[in-house]
Structure 1
Amino acid sequence: MPTITKSNIDYDKRNLSDKTLLQLYYNMLKPRLIEEKMLILLRQGKISKWFSGIGQEAISVGVTMALKPSEYILPMHRNLGVFTTREIPLHRLFCQWQGKASGFTKGRDRSFHFGTQDYNIVGMISHLGPQLGVADGIALANLLKNNGQVAAVFTGEGGTSEGDFHEALNVASVWQLPVIFCIENNGYGLSTPTNEQYHCKHLADRGKGYGMESFILDGNNVIETYTKVKKLVESIRKRPRPILIEFKTFRRRGHEEASGTKYVPKELMDEWETKDPIENFRSYLFSKKILSPVIDEQYVSEIKAEIDTALESAYAEEDIIPNETIELNDVYKDFEYQDIKPSSKVKELRLVDAISESLKQSMNTHKDLVIMGQDIAEYGGVFKITEGFVEQFGKERVRNTPICESAIVEVAMGLSIAGMKAVVEMQFSDFVTSGFNPIVNYLAKSHYRWSQNADVVVRMPCGAGVAAGPFHSQTNEAWFTKTPGLKVVYPAFPFDAKGLLATAINDPNPVLFFEHKALYRSIRQDVPADYYTLPFGKASVLKEGNSVSVITYGAGVHWALETLDNNPDISADIIDLRTLQPLDKETIINSVKKTGRAIVLQEDSMFGGIASDISAMLVEECFEYLDAPVKRVASMETPIPFAMQLENQYLAKGKFESTLRDLLSF
Structure 2
Amino acid sequence: MLKPRMIEEKMLILLRQGKISKWFSGIGQEAISVGVTRAMQNDEYILPMHRNLGVFTSRNIPLNRLFSQWQGKASGFTKGRDRSFHFGTQEYKIVGMISHLGPQLGVADGISLAHKLRKENKLSAVFTGEGGTSEGDFHEALNIAAVWDLPVLFCIENNGYGLSTPTEEQYRCKDLAERGAGYGIESHIIDGNNILEIFSRISEITDSIRENPKPVLIEFKTFRMRGHEEASGTKYVPQELMEEWEKKDPIMNYEQYLFEEGILTEAKKEEFVSSISKEIEENLKLAFDESGIESNVNNELNDIYEDFKYQEVSPSLKTENIRFVDAVSQALKESVRKHNNLVLMGQDIADYGGVFKITEGFMEEFGRERIRNTPICESAVVGTAMGLSINGMKAMVEMQFSDFVSSGFNPIVNYLAKVKYRWNQNADVVLRMPCGGGVGAGPFHSQTNEAWFTKIPGLKVVYPAFPYDAKGLLNTAFNDPNPVMFFEHKALYRSVRQDVPVDYYTLPFGKASRIKEGSEVSIITYGAGVHWALEVLGEMDYDKADLIDLRSLQPLDIDTICESVTKTGKALVLTEDSLFGSFASEIAAMISENCFESLDAPVARVGSLETPIPFAQNLEKQYLPIDRLHKKLQDLIEY
Question: Do these two structures clear the TM 0.5 threshold for a shared fold by scoring above it?
Answer: yes
SS of residue paired to 1:656:
helix
**Residue of structure 1 equivalent to 2:560:** 587
Q: Which residue number corresponds to residue 362 of structure 2? A: 389
Q: Post-superposition shift, 1:621?
A: 0.5
- Are 2:469 and 1:496 equivalent residues in the alignment? yes
- For residue 208 of structure 1, the aligned residue among 169, 178, 181 is 181
Q: TM-score, normalised by structure 2?
A: 1.00
State the distance in 2 between where 1:612 and 1:528 align: 35
Q: Which residue of 2 aligns with 1:343?
A: 316
> In the alignment, does 2:384 pair up with 1:411?
yes
Equivalent pair of 1:363/1:369 in contact (CA under 8 Å): yes
Q: Given the alignment of the two structures, is residue 422 of structure 1 paired with residue 395 of structure 2, yes or no?
A: yes
Distance 1:569 1:389 in 2: 45
Q: Distance in 2 between matches of 1:278 and 1:358?
A: 57
Matching residue of 2:216: 243
The answer for the alignment partner of 1:442 in structure 2 is 415
Asked whether 1:543 is paired with 2:516, we answer yes
Aligned to 2:632, the other structure's residue is in SS state: helix
Q: Is the 8 A contact 1:372 1:425 kept in 2?
A: yes
Q: Secondary structure at the match of 1:117?
A: coil
Structure 2 residue 14 is matched with structure 1 residue 41: yes
Partner AA of 1:528 in structure 2 = P
1:619 lines up with 2:619 in the alignment: no
2:290 is the counterpart of 1:317: yes
Amino acid at match of 1:264: V
Displacement of 1:664: 1.1
Which residue does 1:609 correspond to in 2?
A: 582
| Aligned twin of 2:611 | 638
Matched residues in 1 for 2:30 and 2:586: separation?
50
Rounded to whole Å, the distance in 1 between the matches of 2:540 and 2:578 is 25
Q: Which residue is 1:454 aligned to?
A: 427
CA contact (8 A) 1:491 1:579 kept: yes
* Residue deviations 1:425-454 (CA, integer Å, cap 9, x gap): 000000000000000000000000000000
Indicate whether 1:291 and 2:256 are aligned: no
Whole-angstrom CA distance in 2 between matches of 1:85 and 1:145: 27
Using the size of structure 1 for normalisation, the TM-score is 0.96
User: 1:180-204: CA deviations, max 9, x gaps?
Assistant: 0000000000000000010110000
Q: Deviations over 1:469-498 (max 9, x none)?
A: 000000000000000000000000000000
- Which of 457, 464, 480 is residue 484 of structure 1 equivalent to? 457
Residue identity in the other structure for 2:512: A
* Secondary structure in structure 2 of the residue aligned to 1:542: strand
Q: Is the CA contact (8 Å cut-off) linking 1:100 and 1:318 kept in structure 2?
A: yes
Q: Does 1:572 align with 2:516?
A: no
- Residues 1:599 and 2:594 are matched in the alignment: no
Match of 1:653 among 626, 631, 636: 626
Q: Given residue 136 of structure 2, which amino acid in structure 1 is its aligned partner?
A: G
Q: Distance in 2 between matches of 1:637 and 1:79?
A: 48
Name the Cα RMSD after superposition: 0.5
Question: Which residue identity does 1:126 align to in structure 2?
Answer: S
Find the counterpart in structure 2 of residue 276 from structure 1. Answer: 249
Identity %, equivalent residues: 72
Q: Deviations over 1:271-330 (max 9, x none)?
A: 000000001000100110111111110011111111101110101111111100000000
Q: 5+ unaligned residues in a row in structure 1: which ranges?
A: 1-27
* 2-structure distance, mates of 1:481, 1:421: 22
- Which of 306, 311, 326 is 2:299 aligned to? 326
Match in the other structure for 2:92:
119
Aligned letter for 2:634? R
1:163 maps to which of 136, 144, 161: 136
Letter in 1 for 2:533: A
The Cα shift of 1:570 comes to 4.3
The answer to whether the 8 A contact 1:186-1:251 is kept is yes
The whole-number CA distance in structure 2 between the counterparts of 1:532 and 1:648 is: 37
- How far apart in 2 are the matches of 1:478 and 1:329? 23
Give, in angstroms, the shift of residue 166 of structure 1.
0.2
1:263 alignment counterpart:
236
Matched, 1:308 2:281: yes
**Other structure's SS at 2:595 match:** helix
Counterpart of 2:144, as a letter, is V
Contact 1:547–1:570 under 8 Å retained in 2: no
Q: Distance in 2 between matches of 1:338 and 1:299?
A: 56
Distance 2:321 2:500 in 1: 6
Query: Distance in 1 between the 2:589 and 2:341 partners?
Result: 42
The one-letter code matched in structure 2 to 1:495 is Y
Distance in 1 (alpha carbons) for counterparts of 2:622 and 2:304: 40
- 2:389 aligned counterpart, secondary structure: helix
Structure 2 residue identity aligned to 1:132: L
Displacement after TM superposition at 1:665 (Å): 1.1
Residue 384 of structure 2 aligns with an amino acid whose one-letter code is V
Q: Find out whether 1:51 has 2:51 as its counterpart.
A: no
- 1:569 Cα offset (Å): 3.3
Alpha-carbon distance between aligned partners in 2 of 1:348 and 1:118, rounded to the nearest angstrom: 49
2:204 maps to which of 231, 246, 252: 231
